[in-house]
Structure 1
Amino acid sequence: MLLNIFKNTVLLFVLVFISCASKTKEKISDSTEIIEHVQLTEQIPNEAILVGANQTEAYLPLLKGKRVGVVANQTSVIFKEGDYTHLVDSLVSLKVDLKKVFAPEHGFRGTADAGEVVKDGIDTKTGLPIVSLYGKNKKPTAAQLQDIDLIIFDIQDVGARFYTYISSLHYVMEACAEAKIPVLIFDRPNPNGHYIDGPILEKEHTSFVGMHPIPVVHGMTIGEYAKMINGEKWLKNGIRCDITVIAMKNYSHDAKYDLPIKPSPNLPNAKSINLYPSLCFFEGTNVSAGRGTDKQFQVFGSPFLNTEIFPFTYQFMPEPNEGAKHPKHQDRICHGMDLSNSAYLSEINLSYVINAYKATGDKKSFFNNFFTKLAGTQKLQKQIESGLSAEEIKKTWVSGLAEYDAMRQTYLLYK
């Protein structure tokens, strides 16, 4: 299985580029420090991208003498040629004084269902306490931070507003700002970082799947997003967190990057990650996005879609599996589309949800309340119900996206 996960990634992080990369240390603001940021002048192959966690020479001096907590999951790794070691295991072996691990949605090892409560526990490999940041305890408490001098945040994001790791980032930054604890952020590529798209979230629809006034596809890395949270004063009472970003080397937003480790149980490959911003809207409908199959977020379908209205030729039957213990429409035949061989997207494709709505028999039961939380606005549902085309709907996003992009430019670390 390891060979499959790392197929074509043996040379993912070629260290020969390190010696010739120029190094700078840039102070962005009084509370944000960027370390090892390389300004790119040309497209550099993805094999040369060096993630923050790999740059031990940049951050180990910052950990010396500190009691450290880590926000991590299965993607928090230090890459080697054809292999990797988990960040937590590496830091333990390097005698860093780790006190605890904070686990976001899907848990420390990344096997929990979406929405499943992640429980506190003990990491069997290291013996470290694991503190859940999903469920009732989404924000670290003062007691949980009492024995911590510094927090490391190292989570692979996929660039969609409703992917909850940026919400966890917000709460970690807020708790640490209140406790005057600095946060060290290890940056990683955004596989959907090559575009921005979608409606801007409206304040009245704020939730854990959308906390900030940004579009569905935000076009930022975790490090850049943390800068935006600080700069736009989105933390409670406008407080600012003392953050240091270990920036990547040789990364560009235009680079196509395939994640070597799946970021969550239902995003198993590059195709699912690319389709996720378009297909996740189905989570707020009676249509399955493939949970309970081996093509999660690569297919969609429902028992209620009329194949005479729209030529849905693909069929599947959801069954329980990793990440979907009770999938939508379990053991029922779903009619829909297989998108696993579709073209690479550089925008949200609204035709999927629009065509599914047109083909559903009982339109009153198509949407549920979660759809508005995912969209961040009630307008999208109303636009689909009124029969607007994808092009007509997208025209209503233009001014909001332009304003957002102007704001976003202030916080970008990579071209």
Structure 2
Amino acid sequence: MSSTDDRLKVTTGITRLCAVPGLAGPGRLGLVTNHTCVLPDLRPTAPALMEAGVNLTALFGPEHGLYGTAQAGGSEPAEVDPATGLPVYDTYMCDGERLDKVLVDSGVDALVYDLQDVGARFYTYVWTMFDLMVSAARTGVRFVVADRPNPLGGLVSEGPLLDPAYASFVGRAPVPIRHGLTCGELAWCLNRSAVAEVAGRQVDLTVIKAVGWRREMDAEATGLPWIAPSPNMPTYATAVVYPGTCLFEGTNVSEGRGTTQPFEIVGAPYIDARFTPELAELGLPGVHFRDLRFVPAFGEHAGRPLRGVQLHVTDREAFTPVRTAVAMLGTLRRLYPGDFGWSGEFIDHLWGSDRLRRAIDAGEDPLPLCEPPAPPGRWAGDDVLLYP
């Protein structure tokens, strides 16, 4: 953790743009944004940019919508934003020629991307960024990333690179599950590889850096406000476990949606008193497991009494969310072979291949699959790193 003095030094890319409007370049600008995009004093960035003199002419919303009201798999209808009077374009599940048309119809000369990521490949905001970069490359629109710190820090990556055969909106390109990059760094990485491959050319890309961020700083060390980036990501504690426990979305186990602690708790009707002690015996670093019962209001097993565990992270530096979740999945298969199951093939898209599912079903040790491809920047190429 960093000192109090360090907290005063982190300035996001969007804050810098408000101070120096010329950083985004000339022309009509569209802002890819939602409710997470605020300045340190909690002012929404869209009206703040307009007050600063930025020529903002359109807003673009991701999954969950501009105001963050929609649950997973949903968005809000396109409309006019009452705070700015600007048209809002819904980009969720919109790509290819359809997204190209949205950009052309919007009339923007450049897109400014400012969304709070959580540092996990299957969180869809970065793939909204990717799809818009591809469309921007094809339509001649410039792309500007107003960068923000990776809330999990930038020293660790976890999990395998995605196999392109399993590409989807929870992973478009070969990126680890916990990638360890900022959105700006990820944009540099994707631009020279996947964007160029899909669009036939790279997009004209600018990254407005987050000044003062260093790779060892997590969200709390930055001093920046935590705004829940989606309805089931309420706290920073949720984000810490999410790169692992999101894998439970590919199973018949509740990942805690429909409770006040999504992704921090998991449970199922068939789990019994054996589960918690078995997890404790694994000696997984940086985490304790507490036996609990809960009834989710919606989501998997909605309205049913469930038993499971809550993950209590005791040491964030030692805790490895992907490895922890994989060990939990293997334990569930071993203890409850007749009950535990997968939710179709979604687990393969989350993991990035079918190797995890096949290993667990075969009774093999799945933990060797958790080895990361390389530290952050090494798997993407050292030159994508923008921060020390």
Alignment TM class, shorter chain as reference: 0.7 to 0.9
- Confirm whether residue 173 of structure 1 aligns to residue 146 of structure 2: no
Deviation sequence 1:291-341 (CA, Å, 0-9, x none)? 11111111111112243465472111101xxxxxx4211111111111145
1:388 to 342, 364, 368: 364
Answer whether contact 1:299 1:340 (CA < 8 A) is retained.
no
Answer whether contact 2:157 2:375 (CA < 8 A) is retained.
no
1:145 to 86, 91, 104: 104
Q: CA, structure 1 residues 109+340, in 2 after alignment: closer, same or farther (shift >3 Å)?
A: farther
- Number of the residue aligned with 1:27: none
- Number of the residue aligned with 2:383: 410
Letter in 2 for 1:316: F
- Number of the residue aligned with 1:370: 346
- Number of the residue aligned with 2:284: none
- Number of the residue aligned with 1:240: 202
Deviation sequence 1:352-375 (CA, Å, 0-9, x none)? 222233333534734431100100
- Alpha-carbon offset, residue 403 of structure 1: 10
- Number of the residue aligned with 1:275: 241
- Number of the residue aligned with 1:229: 190
1:204 to 165, 173, 196: 165
Deviation sequence 1:24-54 (CA, Å, 0-9, x none)? xxxxxxxxxxxxxxxxxxxx72332111111
Structure 1 residues 71-220: aligned runs within 5 Å: 71-79=32-40, 83-136=41-94, 140-146=99-105, 147-192=107-152, 193-220=154-181
- Confirm whether residue 47 of structure 1 aligns to residue 20 of structure 2: no
- Alpha-carbon offset, residue 229 of structure 1: 1.0
Letter in 1 for 2:83: K
1:302 to 248, 268, 271: 268
- Number of the residue aligned with 1:322: none
Q: CA, structure 1 residues 69+313, in 2 after alignment: closer, same or farther (shift >3 Å)?
A: same
- Number of the residue aligned with 2:295: 317
- Alpha-carbon offset, residue 283 of structure 1: 0.4
**Partner SS for 1:410:** helix
Give the whole-Å Cα distance in 1 for the aligned partners of 2:39 and 2:376: 37
Answer whether contact 1:230 1:240 (CA < 8 A) is retained.
yes
- Number of the residue aligned with 2:328: 352
**Partner SS for 1:387:** coil
- Alpha-carbon offset, residue 391 of structure 1: 3.8
Moved over 6 A (4+): none
Give the whole-Å Cα distance in 2 for the aligned partners of 1:403 and 1:298: 25
Give the whole-Å Cα distance in 1 for the aligned partners of 2:16 and 2:123: 26
Point out where structure 2 has 5 or more consecutive residues left out of the alignment.
278-289
Q: CA, structure 1 residues 280+406, in 2 after alignment: closer, same or farther (shift >3 Å)?
A: closer
Count of paired positions: 362
Answer whether contact 1:315 1:334 (CA < 8 A) is retained.
yes
Letter in 2 for 1:216: I
**Partner SS for 1:151:** strand
- Number of the residue aligned with 2:287: none
- Number of the residue aligned with 1:332: 304
Give the whole-Å Cα distance in 1 for the aligned partners of 2:193 and 2:58: 30
Identity of aligned residues (%): 30
Point out where structure 1 has 5 or more consecutive residues left out of the alignment.
1-10, 13-43, 320-325
**Partner SS for 1:75:** coil
Give the whole-Å Cα distance in 1 for the aligned partners of 2:27 and 2:104: 13
Q: CA, structure 1 residues 314+224, in 2 after alignment: closer, same or farther (shift >3 Å)?
A: same
Answer whether contact 2:110 2:144 (CA < 8 A) is retained.
yes
Letter in 2 for 1:339: L
- Alpha-carbon offset, residue 176 of structure 1: 1.0
Greater CA drift, 401-410 or 190-199: 401-410
**Partner SS for 1:78:** coil
**Partner SS for 1:184:** strand
Greater CA drift, 333-342 or 297-306: 333-342
Give the whole-Å Cα distance in 2 for the aligned partners of 1:145 and 1:237: 16
What is the TM-score of this pair, normalised by structure 1? 0.80
Q: CA, structure 1 residues 209+334, in 2 after alignment: closer, same or farther (shift >3 Å)?
A: same
Answer whether contact 1:233 1:239 (CA < 8 A) is retained.
no
- Alpha-carbon offset, residue 65 of structure 1: 5.6
Deviation sequence 1:159-182 (CA, Å, 0-9, x none)? 111011111111111111111111
Q: CA, structure 1 residues 143+361, in 2 after alignment: closer, same or farther (shift >3 Å)?
A: closer
Give the whole-Å Cα distance in 2 for the aligned partners of 1:78 and 1:360: 48
- Number of the residue aligned with 1:39: none
Give the whole-Å Cα distance in 1 for the aligned partners of 2:44 and 2:177: 30
Q: Identify, as 1 or 2, the structure richer in helix.
A: 2
Give the whole-Å Cα distance in 1 for the aligned partners of 2:26 and 2:162: 42
Greater CA drift, 355-364 or 373-382: 355-364
Q: CA, structure 1 residues 232+405, in 2 after alignment: closer, same or farther (shift >3 Å)?
A: same
- Alpha-carbon offset, residue 230 of structure 1: 1.4
What is the TM-score of this pair, normalised by structure 2? 0.86
- Alpha-carbon offset, residue 286 of structure 1: 0.7
- Number of the residue aligned with 1:260: 226
